[in-house]
Amino acid sequence: MLEHEATLEIQHLIADCKPGDGDLLAALHRVQHHFGYVPKMAMRVVARQLRLSEAKVYGAATFYSEFRLIPPPETLIGWCSGPACRIAGGDRIRKVLETELGIGMGENTADNRLGLNLAQCNGTCAHAAQVWVNGKVVGPLAAADAVKLVRDLKERP
């Protein structure tokens, strides 16, 4: 997409966000919902709309773990970092995911098909240890289940 078209699109998305009204997070959420991540050029548009410096918008976007600065993969595996998952072997699952995929938390595979993100506990602890595959809870998982899950996802056409 041409940059100025994208700019117009973002301006339209955040048209009702006002300076000095506590709207920065809402604006970033809308951008992420639309694009799947927060592109750098969007920060410039948000900054202009809210009459903030670009540094301030960048500061906010990087303060929170939920805002992505890179495009999302086709399949995002969220690894739950909570304590109930930890005592059910969650840390082993993290090692399995990272090793099998060859990427770290917050990264995508080179072909952009699979990605990992570090997720915060949402209280579905009855399913510990768990991961979320595109938002859907999968668990309880043993480490071997996690290996199979990733291998299945990798082989999926």
* Contact set with another protein (CB under 8 A): 20-22, 24-26, 28-29, 52, 56-57, 59-60, 63-67, 81-84, 86-87, 89, 91-92, 95-96, 99-100, 104-105, 119-128, 130, 137, 139, 142-148
Angstrom distance (rounded) from CA 93 to CA 148: 11
Angle between helices 54-63 and 24-35 (to 10 degrees): 70
Name the residue nearer to another protein (CB basis): 3 or 16: 16
5 vs 155 by CB, closer to another protein: 155
Query: What is the closest distance, in whole angstroms, from the C-beta atom of residue 5 to another protein in the complex?
Result: 26
Minimum distance from CB of 42 to another protein (Å)?
14
- Bond into 72 cis (ω within 30): no
CA 126 to the chain's CA centroid: 23
Closest residue by Cα to residue 84 from 156, 7, 140: 140
CB of 60 to another protein, least distance (A): 3
